[in-house]
């Protein structure tokens, strides 16, 4: 049971809002040591994963680029672009991104979006800019709500869109699980049956986003009238 200590460390660290990278690193060290590995062996495992995983190296390349773009005013430009579109609302911005994210994920382009490279520097500021254009200055609480919905759009669109692409890990995992239980299906069948689920996810989340617009209008519209 001691090997599960990493989960407890992650939960406590996130609740206390400690740096996620530090929390995950400590959780990995604690899990390795609890599993009987020495400190050097755990560090060696981290190093091996870093060397053999291309995605880790890509992250280190992408993050500085995003940081430079933000330093150069990427968020401000995103807000300014949306502010010039009078028909843009928070829900419409997020709906467009949801559709693009789900379609590209269905085609296997899962890396096209993402929280770090798309939501934080572009989508969330654009959604906030649309709300500012309609209601004026936003409270921090409202900004957090819009950012949370922007992150949810990326998660849900990717989760239900990628299953339509047959050469994705989730499809292979489902097929392997079904095979172990005596149910033999082809990846193509799984992908086809994932389409209705993806459509339902799109309709349901679109409804949630429209309700978000209504909620913002009810809260911020009254404040702007009072002002």
DSSP 115: I
Rounded distance between C-alpha atoms, residue 35 and residue 28, angstroms:
10
Q: Give the residue from 188, 183, 147 showing the smallest Cα distance to 165.
A: 188
Residue given tokens 């430079």 in the structure block: 68
Axis crossing angle, helix 54-71 with helix 39-52, rounded to the nearest 10: 70
Contact assessment for residue 160 and residue 201, using Cβ atoms and an 8 Å cutoff: yes
- Give the C-alpha separation, 135 to 227, whole Å: 11
HSE-CB for 15 with a 13 A CA cutoff: 6
- Asked if 90 contacts 213 with a C-beta cutoff of 8 angstroms, the reply is yes
What is the sign, positive or negative, of the torsion defined by CA atoms of 148, 149, 155, 158?
A: negative
Buried b (16+ CB within 10 A) or exposed e, 33-51: beeeeeeeebeeeeeeeee
Query: Which residue do the tokens 């604690």 mark?
Result: 30
Q: Tell me the C-alpha distance between 88 and 84, whole Å.
A: 9
CA distances for 44 relative to 7, 33, 48, 55, angstroms: 21, 12, 6, 18
Chain centroid offset of residue 71 CA = 22
Which one-letter DSSP state was computed for residue 203?
H
Q: Which of 62, 31, 61 lies closest to 46 in space, CA to CA?
A: 31
Among candidates 129, 169, 134, 171, which has minimal Cα distance to 150?
129
Give pLDDT tens digits along the chain (227 positions).
677 888 888 889 888 888 877 888 888 888 888 888 888 888 888 777 666 655 555 555 666 666 666 666 666 777 677 766 777 889 999 999 999 999 999 988 888 888 878 888 888 888 888 888 888 888 899 999 999 999 999 999 999 998 888 877 777 778 888 888 888 888 888 888 889 999 999 999 999 999 998 998 888 775 555 55
């Amino acid at each position: 049971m001691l090997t599960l200590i990493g989960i407890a460390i992650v939960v406590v660290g996130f609740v206390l809002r400690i740096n996620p990278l530090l929390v995950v690193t400590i959780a990995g060290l604690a899990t390795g040591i609890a599993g009987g590995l020495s400190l050097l062996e755990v560090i060696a495992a981290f190093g091996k994963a870093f060397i053999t995983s291309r995605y880790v190296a890509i992250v280190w390349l992408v993050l500085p680029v995003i940081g430079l773009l933000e330093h150069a005013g990427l968020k401000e430009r995103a807000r300014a672009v949306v502010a010039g579109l009078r028909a843009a609302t928070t829900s419409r911005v997020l709906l467009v991104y949801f559709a693009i994210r789900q379609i590209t994920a269905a085609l296997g382009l899962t890396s096209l979006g993402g929280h770090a490279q798309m939501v934080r520097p572009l989508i969330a500021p654009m959604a906030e800019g649309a709300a500012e254009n309609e209601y004026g200055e936003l409270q921090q609480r409202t900004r957090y709500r819009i950012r949370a919905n922007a992150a949810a759009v990326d998660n849900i669109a990717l989760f239900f869109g990628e299953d339509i692409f047959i050469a994705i890990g989730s499809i292979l995992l489902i097929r392997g699980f079904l095979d172990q239980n005596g149910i033999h299906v082809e990846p193509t069948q799984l992908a086809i049956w994932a389409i209705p689920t993806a459509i339902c996810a799109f309709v349901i989340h679109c409804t949630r986003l429209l309700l978000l617009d209504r909620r913002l209008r009810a809260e911020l519209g009254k404040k702007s009238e009072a002002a």
